[in-house]
Chains A and B, each alone.
Chain A
Amino acid sequence: MSGIMIEVRSMYGIGLLKGLWVTLRHFWGTIFTDIKKFPRRYPPKPLTRGQPTLIGTFSVQYPEEKLPMFPRFRGPLMHLRDPETGQVRCTACGMCVRACPHGCITVEGEGKGKERRVTVYRYDVGRCIFCRQCVEACPFNAIELSREYELACYDKDTIWDLPRLLALGDRSGVTESGQYWK
């Protein structure tokens, strides 16, 4: 008799039914979380989720819901401002131009000494390999890699100029390069 109970509790007996119960729990979990957010299947404007949920559906519905990238993510380049004065930090010294293995960057600046500032900064995102050598080389902590990943476009116009890079920097909330690597 005890032999039979061992078999019933074994893998072929209750074990099979326990497996079915596990999958059913996951099935009901997704249905309940759907019911909880019922009328809005997709959020009305793109929102950034925290972590994908562990119970219920794990999927992040891409265009409507996006996951934030981790802090050390290497996206395209952005320019940073000094938090007190609000001025661009870059002085067009050309260290990033020399450090880039691909030659993606072209700079021009004006002014002399401490008041020198950049005027034209051309960065080719099509050639960039996101290696961070330019950021490491910058002595003024003026540039950093952003966390943008939606870079697809319809034309080969991949050269970005200073206003665009500054806009990326302002949007990101990073004030000093290497902020997350300390």
Chain B
Amino acid sequence: MEFIENIFLTIGALLTNWLSSFLPAWAVTLIMDLLVIIILVLIGVVAVLALSFMERKVAARIGDRYGPNRWGPYGLLQPVADAIKMLIKEDIIPSVADRLAFNLAPILVTFAAVMTYAVIPFGKGLIGADLNIGILYFAAVGSITTLGLMTAGWGSDNKYSLLSGFRAAAQLISYEIPMALSIITVVLVAGSLSTQDIVMAQQQRGWFIFSMPGMFLIYVLAALAEMGRCPFDLMEADSEIVAGHMIEYSGMKFALFFLAEYINLFAISGIIVTLFLGGWSGPWLPSWLWFMIKVFCVIFVLMWIRNTYPRLRIDQMLNFNWKVLVPAALVGLMIVALMDKLFTNPWLAGLAMLAGNLVLILGVLWLMGWAQRRKELAAQKAALQ
């Protein structure tokens, strides 16, 4: 078990030793860093293959049908067919499109998605760069997606694309606030911004999902909206605005948008696992295997949510954010900070935070119901007159 646990580190050490026997030190670090970069990008791309297939199969099974099951046994070669299709499609650029913006947009979006892989802890020593501002880097780089979408909307020179770009920008920048607030809550309790430190804090204090379920829910909802997934997928819903900002794209550029979406999904699931579900910690299996299992469970839950709930309108989405999520996140932050300071014993503090979070969830539900009832009463009164 020890061997399997450290297999990647062992291979890395062997390779470094072999290279430094005939290369100067700067070349060795250069090659090893390039290798790490290539591996991280490859994890992203392989994740895309697996996730696009899993998405179609899960969506189909929830709908009482088989997914793709003709290519390869159980349809396992379907992503290969998809990849080949996207590679051989013609790359059409509208003649009136703004060339720079049009070509830059998919690059920006993919760039933002892949850069976030540097701070995800895949295992015990397996992290791209153990920055001590890890989570802040993640939130910052994740925001570049918004720029990419606006650029795509503008560069397509299509008014529907532009409209979709506006809505996408509104949605993405609004939902960054509850996301940042829940990240701050976790960082407060863990004591550090570095992702490896957050995982180790969870090993000592118990998983944060059990002490802060309210903040977990807020983060999951905000992350769903950030990724543009159902029920918040107005940006790219087929029946709404025919692929939104991606209307004019085809061929490899569309493939890059598609890639960026699934890379983002995997990255955000990785961060959910890191922040709330204990990262790579687990009793018996190697740490990177635990991480993968937890990430796939989270991704299954996200796909399950996608295939259950109807879509929200843009005004409902923004209302939900500013009137429910942001106040709830602020109150949750205050509760957690208070409980963290009041109780020095970490387990007692965890219990108190759990109680506070449950009160928060119930309070939010009650307030939402109260607001709904008030609206209905006002509508009834207006109808009577």
Q: Cα distance A56–B60 when bound, in Å? A: 12
Among B64, B69, B304, B362: residue with most chain A CB under 10 A: B64
Residues of B within 8 A of A10 (CB): 365, 369
- Among B160-168, B202-210, B305-313, the stretch in contact with A: B305-313
Q: Which of B62, B365, B370 contacts A23 (CB 8 A)?
A: B62
Is B369 within 8 A of A31, CB to CB? no
Q: Cα distance A86–B63 when bound, in Å? A: 50
B58 within 8 A of A: yes
Mask: chain B, 343-369; 1 = CB below 8 Å from A; 0 = not: 000000000000000000010011011
Question: Do most interface residues of chain B lie in helix, strand or loop, or is the interface mixed?
Answer: helix
B66 within 8 A of A: yes
Interface size on B, residues (CB 8 A): 20
Q: A149 → chain B, closest Cβ, in Å? A: 21
Q: Cα distance A29–B370 when bound, in Å? A: 38
A6 within 8 A of B: yes
Q: Cα distance A18–B299 when bound, in Å? A: 20
Q: Knowing A57-B64, A61-B66 touch, does A23 contact B369 (C-beta < 8 A)?
A: no
Is A30 within 8 A of B61, CB to CB? yes
Is B64 within 8 A of A23, CB to CB? no
Q: Cα distance A10–B62 when bound, in Å? A: 24
B341 within 8 A of A: no
Q: B355 → chain A, closest Cβ, in Å? A: 15
Mask: chain A, 13-46; 1 = CB below 8 Å from B; 0 = not: 1001001101110110111000000000100000
Q: Which of A19, A26, A56 contacts B63 (CB 8 A)?
A: A26
Interface size on A, residues (CB 8 A): 25
Q: Knowing A20-B304, A20-B305 touch, does A27 contact B365 (C-beta < 8 A)?
A: no
Q: B265 → chain A, closest Cβ, in Å? A: 19
Residues of A within 8 A of B61 (CB): 26-27, 30-31, 57
Is B304 within 8 A of A8, CB to CB? no
B381 within 8 A of A: no
B65 within 8 A of A: yes
Q: Knowing A4-B365, A12-B368 touch, does A59 contact B65 (C-beta < 8 A)?
A: yes
Is B308 within 8 A of A23, CB to CB? yes
Q: B105 → chain A, closest Cβ, in Å? A: 34
Q: Which of A4, A12, A20, A58 contacts B65 (CB 8 A)?
A: A58
Closest B residue to A25 by beta carbon equals: B62
Residues of B within 8 A of A41 (CB): 69, 74
Q: Which of A13, A24, A29, A30 contacts B365 (CB 8 A)?
A: A13
Q: List 20 A-B contacts (CB under 8 A).
A: A4-B362, A4-B365, A7-B365, A7-B368, A12-B368, A12-B369, A19-B308, A20-B305, A20-B308, A23-B62, A23-B308, A26-B61, A26-B64, A29-B64, A30-B61, A30-B64, A57-B61, A59-B64, A59-B66, A61-B66
The 5 closest A-B CB pairs, nearest first, are A7-B369, A7-B365, A58-B64, A23-B308, A30-B61
Q: In the complex, given contacts A4-B365, A16-B309, A22-B308, what are 7 additional A-B residue pairs having Cβ atoms less than 8 angstroms apart?
A: A4-B362, A7-B362, A19-B309, A26-B62, A26-B63, A29-B64, A30-B64
* Interface of B toward A, CB cutoff 8 Å: 58, 61-66, 69, 74, 304-305, 307-309, 362, 365-366, 368-370
